[in-house]
Structure 1
Amino acid sequence: MTHWITPDWPAPAYIRAATTLRTGGVSQAEFSSLNPADHVNDLPHHVLENRQRITSMLALPAEPVWLRQTHSVQVVCADQVTEPPEADASYTRKNSTVCTVLTADCLPLLLCDRQGTMVAAIHGGWRGLLNGIIENTVLKMSSTELYAWLGPAIGTQCFEVSDDVRNAFTNKSAQFASAFKKHTEDKYLADIYQIARILLNKAGVKQIYGGQYCTVTDKERFFSYRRDGQTGRMATMIWKV
Structure 2
Amino acid sequence: MASILYVCVRPERGAADAEHVSFQRGLGVAALDQLDLISDPLTDELLSRHDGFVIGGSPFNVTDAVKTPLQQRVEADLERIAARALSGEAAAMFTCYGIGVVTRLLGGALTLERPESTRASEIRTTDEAASDPLFGPSAPALTVFTAHKESAVAVPPGATLLATNAACAVQAYRVGTQLYATQFHPEPSPQDFANRMTFYRNNGYFDAAEFDAVKAEILAAQDVGGEDLLRRFALTFG
TM-score bracket for this pair, using the shorter chain length: 0.3 to 0.5
More helix by share: 2
TM-score, normalization by structure 1:
0.32
- Mark the structure with the bigger radius of gyration: 1
TM-score, normalization by structure 2:
0.32
User: Higher relative contact order by CA 8 Å / sep ≥ 6: 1 or 2?
Assistant: 1
